[in-house]
Structure 1
Amino acid sequence: MLRGSGFLTPAAARLLIVDLARAEGFDAVGICAADAIPHAAPRLAEWLASGAQGDMGWMTETAERRASPRALWPDVRSVVMLGLNYGPDEDPRAALMDPARAAISVYARGDDYHELIKGKLKRICSRLVPRVGGPERAEVKVFVDTAPLMEKPLAASAGLGWQGKHTNLVSREKGSWLLLGAIATTLELPVDAPERDHCGSCRACLDACPTGAFPAPYRIDARRCVSYLTIEHKGPIPRALRPLIGNRIYGCDDCLAACPWNKFAALGREARLAAREENRNPALAELARLDDGAFRARFAKSPIKRTGRVRFLRNVLTAIGNSGDPALAPEAERLLADPEPLIRGAAVWALSRLVPPAVFARLAARHVPAEADAAVRAEWDPSLENAA
């Protein structure tokens, strides 16, 4: 088991990694070589050339480093991919049933997985590094959506699952509910066999998408994806897509929840990822009243805080506009006075859907003359809604 110097052999190091990963609560672990995904770079280049990344300019800026782990770190030899199950305790589509309440993506209902998984990876490395290597100490780096690393192709190459037609990872044991972390290392470790595709002729995930974000199987247009529109997109949500978003205010689980492989999924065991009660189906009226301090306090340990109050309320107001509930109109009307143009514009749209045309015209007569933002002024034009 040990080398003459007292260090573990690569095979023993692999067993230790698996043991440490299980001790930290990871549900899946696999290893691939650093050069295991040569097929991913051409697909990424084609996708970026199509403009499907929307205004995620950082994906274009980091494309060369994203092409391969070795482009990011030349000394890396192996990549350990780890999966943490976050399987929900209910069908997330149940949150779509009440249009006056918000639907939040399952992964964002508990603590921020970035910090949680990063802590677990660092603890694994702190116990691994002293026991492996040789004359030259092994080096490691950990990643959780924090660097230009193509986690999903690497996870497939490491045997954790395969990239389904919705482009997300699917596991035969855990279904669609795996959060990924990576440990890149200078160690040359034994690798696992890649998982093959088990989607077959199924297209349940493609058909479930509310905005038609999949132009073809295994290809996503982020510009139409609810997760992109509610999290990454910085401007107004395109008018034609707003009605399709429904009450989804942060992310979307529809394509994941539709996957038949979820019949094998289990409830997530990590308590910090479990849904907080206030994030299961919060009332839209309650969320619309959050000022900046209240927003920060409520989502202090949540991934939702990364979006910020402005985009968050844009999403809430879009959901209010889709609610069909005139009782929510006062919440939108109050936000016509918000300092942020993005919020004011979303409030105008929501009101255009909830109040009679005569009331909307009276509100326009009161607010348009004082409105300095051209985009917000344009939202007051009722003909745009018909055009959309």
Structure 2
Amino acid sequence: MTTSQHIREEIRARALAEGFDAAGFTGARLPQSAGEGLAAFLERGHHGDMDWLENRRDQRASPDALWPEARSVIALGLNYGPDEDPMEKLERTLEGNISVYAGNKDYHDIIKKRLKRIGRWLCETHDCSVKVFVDTAPVMEKPLGQQAGIGWQGKHTNLVSREFGSWLFLGAIYTTLDLPPDDPETDHCGSCRACLDICPTQAFPAPYQIDARRCISYLTIENKGHIPLEFRAAMGNRIYGCDDCTAICPWNKFAAQTEEMAFHTREALRGPLLADLAALDDGAFREMFRASPVKRIGRDRFVRNVLIAIGNSGAPALASSAQALLADPSALVRAMAVWALARLDIGAAKRAKPQYDALEMDDAVRAEWQRLDQQADQ
């Protein structure tokens, strides 16, 4: 074993000791096809309002474009395999369904600390420079992960591992060390298209392509505005993210439940009642989701999502939760309160219209009220 190979294996052992479940190595360059794929994604507008994907696109296309001194990339994966079937939560329509990854602490904080510890050790031990990344910089973690051999980018565009299925958080360390690369992983999706077929909003225009504007994860998290009517019913009770394409992956049968307690869903979020979530004010929302990734979307967008789930619940008893929010300070909330109330009790919505519609200043909310005139009395 050469010195550089020995250093590589030493780093791999250190990463596993820090709690990572997969570690691979590749050169600090991605093929031209990676940048071309990114350019096509952006030119189609499939990134929606995620302008940060457009910004610094050249640096995103390859590690050496972001940091010319980089010679190698250490691609790291952390298993977050759930202890319950996420698809079963879709049947519990009185409860809010929060994506597996967001059921506890924010993975960005956990992974970043570990990356920094490895980075400090690496610099002190081998006299090099490093930069660490986890989802917060122009880095294409998934192509790098495939090139480093820890998985392949599946038809749902997420990384898939033969050991951990579709349940891997990703991080990367760029370093000035010149380390031998691992063999890249090959695509093992075959003819399977389970992830494409299960998507509730048909967000995949083709295998290995995603239109984020149709994706429930984008709609519930990244989208800051009103959620288009065409997607609301398909959202079901998903109030933060969507696990369908990830959870259905056949490779998950090889994945073990995560041992990380920080990624086990908190009991309070295993089946939170929609009625309770709709009643959250800003302070209660912040308290409930302290240290959680859910906190970053804010109370208004969260309750917007909850009201869509209420409208999809088929439970007339929840109509009162929607009606209580018709005068909410947030237009996002008011609009979905009208929609949800109309879904559950059209008569109550029409009786409320004269009181609220006359005072409404937001065009999107007024459009929800006006839509009532096109619906038959129930």
What range is the shorter-chain TM-score in?
Answer: over 0.9
Residues 30, 61 of structure 2: 8 Å contact kept = no
The amino acid that maps onto 1:316 is V
The amino acid that maps onto 2:105 is D
Q: Percent identity?
A: 60
Superposed displacement of residue 269, structure 1:
1.3
Q: In the alignment, does 2:359 pair up with 1:359?
A: no
CA distance in 2, matches of 1:161, 1:217: 17
Q: In the alignment, does 2:375 pair up with 1:381?
A: no
The amino acid that maps onto 1:310 is D
**Which of the residues 149, 153, 156 maps onto 1:159?**
149
Q: In the alignment, does 2:237 pair up with 1:271?
A: no
Query: What does 1:158-177 correspond to in 2, within 5 Å?
Result: 158-177=148-167
Q: In the alignment, does 2:70 pair up with 1:76?
A: yes
Deviations along 1:182-206, whole A, 9 cap, x unmatched? 1011111111010000001000111
Q: In the alignment, does 2:317 pair up with 1:327?
A: yes
For 2:92, the equivalent position in structure 1 comes to 98
Query: What does 1:179-190 correspond to in 2, within 5 Å?
Result: 179-190=169-180
Residues 110, 274 of structure 1: 8 Å contact kept = yes
Distance 1:83 1:341, change over 3 A: same
Query: What does 1:1-388 correspond to in 2, within 5 Å?
Result: 9-133=3-127, 138-356=128-346, 358-382=347-371
Residues 300, 333 of structure 2: 8 Å contact kept = yes
Secondary structure of the residue that 2:239 maps to in structure 1? Answer: strand
Structure 1 consecutive aligned stretches of length 4 or more whose deviation exceeds 4 Å: 383-386
Superposed displacement of residue 58, structure 1:
1.6
Residues 37, 153 of structure 1: 8 Å contact kept = no
Secondary structure of the residue that 2:324 maps to in structure 1? Answer: helix
CA distance in 2, matches of 1:274, 1:39: 37
The amino acid that maps onto 1:215 is P
The amino acid that maps onto 1:238 is P
CA distance in 1, matches of 2:114, 2:26: 20
Superposed displacement of residue 362, structure 1:
1.2
Superposed displacement of residue 330, structure 1:
1.0
Secondary structure of the residue that 2:333 maps to in structure 1? Answer: helix
Distance 1:335 1:151, change over 3 A: same
CA distance in 2, matches of 1:281, 1:163: 31
Superposed displacement of residue 62, structure 1:
2.4
Residues 350, 372 of structure 2: 8 Å contact kept = no
Give the root-mean-square deviation of aligned CA atoms. 1.4
Secondary structure of the residue that 1:210 maps to in structure 2? Answer: coil
CA distance in 1, matches of 2:259, 2:31: 31
Superposed displacement of residue 19, structure 1:
1.3
Secondary structure of the residue that 1:370 maps to in structure 2? Answer: coil
CA distance in 1, matches of 2:342, 2:142: 41
Deviations along 1:139-167, whole A, 9 cap, x unmatched? 10110101010000000000011011000
Superposed displacement of residue 17, structure 1:
0.9
Superposed displacement of residue 384, structure 1:
8.6
The amino acid that maps onto 1:143 is F
CA distance in 2, matches of 1:112, 1:57: 22
